[in-house]
Structure 1
């Protein structure tokens, strides 16, 4: 399997420039086409009541005005990267529109967007909603952090779960192109994840991946993973998300919640 279509969430939030740069670089590295989807209807706003209708109409009008600048930025990035790019405008809500498009793309690029402008707040919950609702992988690009020119070093946060297995299989084309891949396991319970991590590194090598395994015998994964990403110099972090229920993560906290709020590097995630 290879990556042939990179799907980009196009919107006037503060993360657009960073995720556009990442998506264009990924398309260049993998030889993929880059498709941007721009939606006019705001996320998370119901179509109920006259007051809301007036508000929504105003947001749609603003979205049409902002599209001109964003599309020009997209076209410039595509030309600079030397990749094929398509811009699509949809009269619809962003999560539903992207969910429909994900089936026909190999990976979808969105942003971790901090609360700020109205556009930022409307986009803030998109990463987790999209990753949970879609049948494909999602890359969450941090806002305001350095964007790698290419993916050379990849950290795989591993535990033997269905979600982590999905993420690794989806990421195989990217892992094969990387210069170095580290499989990281963290011992948080009595389960022997170290042996599983070693097996994963050996499995990846059969796909031509230059993979090594590092095991941390004790620690909290939510703390160890970002520390190791920085120490390893990772350009991408691959992991499964919500191995336990989203409700449990919200109540008890968890690795998924903490990393989606503040990703140390771009996250390649799947559920």
Structure 2
């Protein structure tokens, strides 16, 4: 893992996101590609014919906020021993991040929407779009975490699916940084079930070949929920990162009926690294 794409925008958690990306970059000796995307819809509101911004002040305020954010982030990065660059674009947020991540090993983004784009692109939808359109895994800090420790403990949510296997492969750089890794399978009553496409022995062997000697646990759902069981287990273990495959079921079905991916994208107390 040598290149990290850091998504910055005008939201109340951006400073913590920068700090967490710096922590990962330091631990991995990686470069930060910092990308700020102004949502095209936000600009269109001010530039449209007969729009509300008759004197142009709204657009000026938007640009001033972007300038202030850039200055703040540049100042923070200039004091760190991490290589970085900063790029500003106007366009589709998901499309720009997908394009920028083509030569990146990790996307660091967040759950909070752009302050000038409320109601247009919800964070969960943005994360879902990234997972479907990009081959680069996404990292989102935990809702209860101020600072993420890349060298802390990590758990892998394993169900034997292609998506879970892909998340492990894509997240191997992050997993190598962890002090301890545990592969966790959640079943209805904690019983053994069909292994799926990939038995757990396969992932343990793969991790071992990458010098990651992981433990394996099989645990039961809590109140019928896989997400609750994983979070509870992570809390008991003291893990700060959950690596998981995303949308192993149809995305629309997950939205309607509350699959694991949708639940975790909306809220999770610890950081997640997800890939589709």
TM-score (normalizing by structure 1): 0.86
* 1:39 CA drift (Å): 1.7
CA contact (8 A) 2:4 2:30 kept: yes
CA gap of 1:72–1:143, structure 2 versus 1, over 3 A, is farther
- Pair 1:61–1:230, CA change in 2 (3 A): farther
Whole-Å separation in 2 of the counterparts to 1:111 and 1:58: 29
User: What secondary structure does 2:212 align onto?
Assistant: coil
Deviates more, 1:69-78 or 1:261-270: 69-78
Quick check: 1:153–1:236 contact (8 Å CA) kept in 2?
Answer: yes
Paired residue for 1:99?
Answer: 98
Deviates more, 1:218-227 or 1:16-25: 218-227
What does 1:141-180 align with in structure 2 at a 5 Å threshold? 141-143=141-143, 145-180=145-180
Q: Compared with structure 1, are the counterparts of its residues 117 and 177 closer, same or farther at alpha carbon in structure 2 (3 Å cutoff)?
A: closer
2:7 equivalent among 9, 12, 33: 9
2:215 equivalent to 1:212: yes
| Post-superposition offset of 1:203 | 2.7
**Unaligned residue ranges in structure 2 (runs of 5+):** none
- Is 1:267 the counterpart of 2:269? The answer is no
Q: Given the alignment of the two structures, is residue 230 of structure 1 paired with residue 227 of structure 2, yes or no?
A: no
Q: How does 1:132-147 map to 2 (within 5 A)?
A: 132-143=132-143, 145-147=145-147
* Residues 40-82 of structure 1: per-residue CA shift (max 9 Å, x gap): 3346887896356859x76653342122332233234324441
In the comparison of the two structures, how many residue pairs are matched? 267
The change in CA–CA distance for 1:141 and 1:148 in structure 2 (over 3 A counts) is closer
**Could you report, residue by residue, the CA deviation over 1:142-169 in whole angstroms, capped at 9, with x for unpaired residues?**
4563222433211111111111111100
Match of 1:23, SS state, is helix
In the TM superposition, residue 209 of structure 1 has moved relative to its aligned partner by 0.6
Give the TM-score normalised by the residue count of structure 2.
0.85
The aligned counterpart of 1:192 is 194
**Cα offsets for 1:102-161 (capped at 9, x unmatched):** 101111111012x79545655623222212221211112245632224332111111111
| Bigger-Rg structure (1/2) | 2
Q: Which runs of no fewer than 5 residues in structure 1 stay unpaired? A: none
Partner of residue 248, structure 2: 243
Q: Equivalent residue of 2:103, what SS?
A: coil
Between 71-80 and 10-19, report the one with greater CA deviation: 71-80
Q: 3-state SS of the aligned residue for 2:110?
A: strand
